[in-house]
Structures are given as structure tokens and as C-alpha cells.
Structure 1
Amino acid sequence: MNPEDENTSQTKKPAEELKSQETRSSWKRRGSRYKARRRAVDILFEAEMRDIDPVAIVEDRVVLSRLNGTDVNQVPSYTKEIVSGAAMELDRLDELIAAHLAEDWSLERIMTVDRAILRVSVWELIFNPDVPLATAIIEGVELASEYSTDVSPAYVHALLDSIAKNIDEYRAGSVTPVENSEAEAAGYPVEESIEEDSQ
């Protein structure tokens, strides 16, 4: 056997193991809760793009999913809970998100999909104490990895982590801007991850 062939076979094995690990972790984050969060992001994104009530979209999808001959999937109950909760608390969620942005950034400058992801994740952090903080943060980062730009996961993580550090105050109703937040220290959000004001 050629020594080069031996080296090649040794490097293939770890690569195959890594791929197997990636598949396992991918499977884990594609569980029913993740899919419900992803569907909620889809609905909140669509609602903002079409300027309609996200709860109306959910109701429409529920009706369509019951009709024969449609390819509309049923809306998971957790998706309904997230969407209705986020719609009800939208102003508060947006205030919290905006309070954790760098001083020279506004919520409107962030990409629409990132706003939807942050609204879902912040709703979970504040209004669903049954979800561990780390889970809400990790799932938000995963959604950003799946849906947004390469730079979005880092600033989504920084912003959610900053909110999680003051979770008791926020759950009690406070919406106080945090000075020198991790998001701002990390340069959040970076230019490539935002929509231009003109769009």
C-alpha cells in the first residue's frame, strides 16, 4: 500500500465521523419545537412583508390545511402560541430588541427575516419560562444560520444573550436599555446583515 493512500484513508475517517456528527446534530435541531419556531418565523416574516396580521395568516393556514387537495401543512400548536404571543406583545418585543442594538442602529435597519427571528426568540425568552434560556438562544442562532446571512448568527446570539442576562427584570416588565451591551461591543449589527434604508 502506498503511504500516500494510507494518509488519505486516515483523513477520510475523521471527515466521515464529522459528517455523521453533523447529521446527528442537524437531526436534533430539526425536532418538532424547532419546526414550530421556524414556521412562526415564516409567518411573522410574511405578515410584515404583506403588512397583515400574523394571527390572520395562522387562521387562514389552519382552514387551508383542513381542505382536501391542498398542500398546506397543519400549523403546530406551538407555532400558534408563538405567533399570537408575539403579535400581542409586538411593541414590547420591539422595544427590547431596539434597546439592545448599538446606539446608531434602529430596528427598521435590520433585515426583515432577522426581526422575525429575534421576535420569536425574545418572545420565548420573556414569555415562555418553560423553555430554558440556553435553548431559546441556541434555536434563535440556528434559525439565523438557516435563514439569514453569515454574519447574522453572531449578532443574534449577542443580542439574545444580552437580554437573557437581565431576564428577571424583563419578565417583570422592564424595558431598560442596557449600556455597553454585548451586541454593541461586538459591533452589532454589521453592515452586511442589514437592509439599506432605501429598501
Structure 2
Amino acid sequence: MMKLRRQAREMSLQVLYAMEMSGEPVDQVITDVLLLNENPECDETLLRDLVRHTSANRESIDERIRNRSRNWDFNRIALIDKIILRQAIAELIFSEDIPPRVTISEAIELAKKYSTDDSHVFINGLMDRIYHDLIEEGRIFPEVTET
């Protein structure tokens, strides 16, 4: 299950990046990415949900990133980092069955794999602040930690 979700997140990242570069419609890019990856084993429902929620809510998600990326000009944030952040924020808000710490951890892993050496630190800090904002807004609930 975890491997299928990780693969879905990686493919969603590919789809969102390809959409950014090509301007092609969502369904076409998803189909193309699935074909290019030779129909890999992944949680295709999560893939489609992440892509749709991320692209449909891009403006409000970008506003969250702008508000929380102190000392960073939004336009200077690497495109891959923006996409990782957008996808993770969409997952936090819309994937209620995935624990927030898993979402944040997966975003950090994506940054380590696909971005610069320091990106994971930036993404971790930003996601932590956004996670707490979403709790304050009542959009998500804090995780209960066992003692």
C-alpha cells in the first residue's frame, strides 16, 4: 500500500510538472504519464485525486505558500519545489485518510529525490508551518500521538 501511494505521488509530480510545461489537459497528461511509465503499479485513485485537487486549488494553495515563505520571493522558488509543496498541501487538505505526518514525510522524500540538496529542509519548514495553519483554521485535525 505504501509503495503504491509513493509511486502515485511520484507520478502525480510528473503529471503536474508536464502540465506546467505543456499546458495540456489533465486527463491527457495523466494518460500519457501512465503510458510512459508502462502502466506501473500505483494507487491510481490517489494519483488522479492529487492531480485534480492540486490543479483545481492551485491559486489558494499558492497563496498559502506565498504567505508562509518568509524571505523568499515566490517566483524564485524552484518549480519542482512549488509542485511538491502544492501537491503536499492538497494532500493534507483533501486526503483525510492519510496522516499529515506521512504527507509531510513523503514531500520531504520527493524533494530529496527530485530537487536540490537543500530543498527538503525548505519544504519541511514550510509544510510544518502550513500544517499548523490548517489546524488553526479547523481544516485538519492534529494527530494524536500515543504516549
Shorter-chain TM-score tier:
0.7 to 0.9
Q: Any unmatched runs of 5+ in structure 1?
A: 1-27, 173-199
Give, in angstroms, the shift of residue 56 of structure 1. Answer: 3.2
Structure 1 SS opposite 2:6 = helix
The equivalent of 2:39 in structure 1 is: 73
Going from structure 1 to structure 2, the CA distance change for 1:165 and 1:155 (only over 3 Å counts) comes to same
Deviations 1:46-103 (A, max 9, x none): 11122333343114456xx4xxxx7632572210111011111111111111111114
- Tell me the equivalent position of 1:87: 55
Aligned: 1:46 with 2:22? no
Instruction: State the AA in 2 paired with 1:171.
Output: R
Name the % identity.
29
CA contact (8 A) 1:126 1:170 kept: no
What is the Cα-based RMSD across aligned positions, in Å?
2.3
Larger Rg: 1
Aligned to 1:17: none
When residues 106 and 52 of structure 1 are mapped into structure 2, their CA distance, relative to the original with a 3 A threshold, is farther
Q: For 2:74 and 2:23, how far apart are their aligned partners in 1?
A: 16
Describe how 1:47-66 pairs up with structure 2 within 5 A: 47-61=19-33, 65=35
Q: Provide Cα deviations, 1:3-60, integer angstroms capped at 9, x if missing partner.
A: xxxxxxxxxxxxxxxxxxxxxxxxx97x110110010011111111223333431144
What TM-score do you get using the length of structure 2 for normalisation? 0.82
Aligned length: 137
In structure 2, do the counterparts of structure 1 residues 149 and 164 end up closer, same or farther at CA, with 3 Å as the change threshold?
A: same
Tell me, which stretches of 5 or more residues in structure 2 are unaligned? 141-147
Please identify runs of 4+ aligned residues in structure 1 that moved more than 4 A.
59-62
1:164 aligns with 2:136: no
TM-score, normalisation: structure 1: 0.62
